[in-house]
Structure 1
Amino acid sequence: MSLIVLLSAAFIFSGCATWNKTQKGAVIGTAAGGTAGAVIGRASGNTALGAIIGAAVGGASGAIIGRQMDKQAEEIKKTVPDAKVERVGEGIVVEFNSNVLFAFDKSNLSNDAKTNLDKLVLVLNNYSETNIEVQGHTDSRGSEAYNQTLSEQRAGAVSGYLTAQGIAYDRITRKGFGETMPKYSNADADGRMQNRRVEFLITANEKMKAEAAKQTTN
């Protein structure tokens, strides 16, 4: 397994320009799986990457799922221009920095936040066969305990709003990581602002996986 993990990680981080996202999804899923996803996520400091790799099925089924995710990602980009949207393997990462969603040091959603989340909900409801993990993150200012609590509160506020707008409760999980998983530098104001973020990890649910597998046998 360790060799597979290393090969999978090398493939992902090299970002081979000759492969599209769908092809990467097929290979990553085949090589990785849950254990590899967890290892790569920890090694890279990227919880979104690890979770999406862990949910991958790979092979021909992964390629089918990848095509569906391509379509959904493009729709999110068009519908929610304030979000940063990235296709990763067989999933999608949607990132909002906290300025879009929250006032500084707050966990209650602003009116602008609700407007942006309403746009996202429209797309999520069009693709009901997906799971959504809501991750809260903070910068490094303040104590670790305070930041952990704030990240959990923000993830909870976002996931609660999604369910209130009609997203099925069992599609959503929420996690807070506090200051432990920065994607940007905490050495300057701009980096800290970007680290104060909420990420949405969109992956195939069991029904989508089963349907993709069925298509490969037809």
Structure 2
Amino acid sequence: MKKSNKTVFLFCGLFLLSGCANLENQMLVKEIEEFEVEVKQIDRGVEIIFPEVLLFEYNSDRLKPEAKTKLHKIAEVINHTKYASRNIAVEGHADAIGGEDFNLALSKRRAQSVARALVFSGVLKERIVIAWFGKSRPIVPNTNPDGSDNPQGRKRNRRVEVIIEN
């Protein structure tokens, strides 16, 4: 009998914790939306999608000055005591143009640039995990249904995602 009471208590505790994480994530989304970036709650936490055009010039891994300013503001939010214990995943992505090696290398350098900017803005390096995927994880098709090029789709796929993990 005691085991089942503990199980119910544990289940209720987990439910409350997930509800708290959900509420905290909703608050985090609201705070980050103010910086005019694409942000949403996902299973892993809160995802911020930075399109290439916001961060970099085409085929470059050097951050634009305005990108550094946005990343600094986001770093201030995620360094707040409410979120300071959460890990940050920085993930680089590319479109389907160019070779596999080139796209992997570019997505890696871009993720590293964003991570460096966050660290420069005060986010502890130990909180950040960097990953790069090249063209392997598109969010929209790189080609149209008829097989022709989809420049707008490719543009969306050139991005860096920052995930503030649960």
Gaps of 5+ in 1: 1-29, 31-57, 205-218
After TM superposition, give the deviation of residue 168 of structure 1 in Å: 0.6
Gaps of 5+ in 2: 1-10, 144-149
Is residue 2:146 matched to residue 1:184? no
Matching residue of 1:65: 21
Instruction: Give the root-mean-square deviation of aligned CA atoms.
Output: 1.6
After TM superposition, give the deviation of residue 59 of structure 1 in Å: 2.7
After TM superposition, give the deviation of residue 98 of structure 1 in Å: 0.7
- Distance in 1 (CA, whole Å) between partners of 2:51 and 2:123 is 22
Matching residue of 1:109: 63
- Distance in 1 (CA, whole Å) between partners of 2:42 and 2:117 is 25
- Distance in 1 (CA, whole Å) between partners of 2:31 and 2:76 is 10
**Contact in 2 for aligned 1:98/1:198 (Cα 8 Å):** yes
Percent of counterpart pairs with the same letter?
32
Figure out how many residues of one structure are paired with residues of the other and give that number: 147
Consecutive aligned runs of 4 or more in structure 1 exceeding 3 Å deviation: none
- Distance in 1 (CA, whole Å) between partners of 2:21 and 2:43 is 10
**Contact in 2 for aligned 1:135/1:176 (Cα 8 Å):** yes
- Normalising by structure 1, report the TM-score: 0.64
**Contact in 2 for aligned 1:69/1:90 (Cα 8 Å):** no
Matching residue of 1:142: 98
- Distance in 2 (CA, whole Å) between partners of 1:189 and 1:199 is 20
- Distance in 1 (CA, whole Å) between partners of 2:122 and 2:161 is 19
Structure of higher CA gyration radius: 2
Matching residue of 2:156: 194
**What are the superposed Cα offsets for residues 105-163 of structure 1, whole Å, 9 maximum, x if unpaired?**
00111112112112211211122121100000000000011100000000001101111
**Contact in 2 for aligned 1:125/1:167 (Cα 8 Å):** yes
**Contact in 2 for aligned 1:136/1:199 (Cα 8 Å):** yes
Is residue 2:117 matched to residue 1:161? yes
Instruction: Give the structure, 1 or 2, with the largest relative contact order (CA under 8 Å, sep 6 or more).
Output: 2
After TM superposition, give the deviation of residue 89 of structure 1 in Å: 3.1
- Distance in 1 (CA, whole Å) between partners of 2:141 and 2:70 is 26
- Distance in 1 (CA, whole Å) between partners of 2:94 and 2:88 is 20
- Matches for 1:7-46 after TM superposition, within 5 Å: none
- Normalising by structure 2, report the TM-score: 0.84
**What are the superposed Cα offsets for residues 85-114 of structure 1, whole Å, 9 maximum, x if unpaired?**
111136111001011000000011111211
Task: Provide the secondary structure at the position in 1 that maps to 2:47.
Answer: strand
Matching residue of 2:86: 130
**Contact in 2 for aligned 1:76/1:120 (Cα 8 Å):** yes
- Distance in 2 (CA, whole Å) between partners of 1:60 and 1:201 is 22
**Contact in 2 for aligned 1:62/1:90 (Cα 8 Å):** no
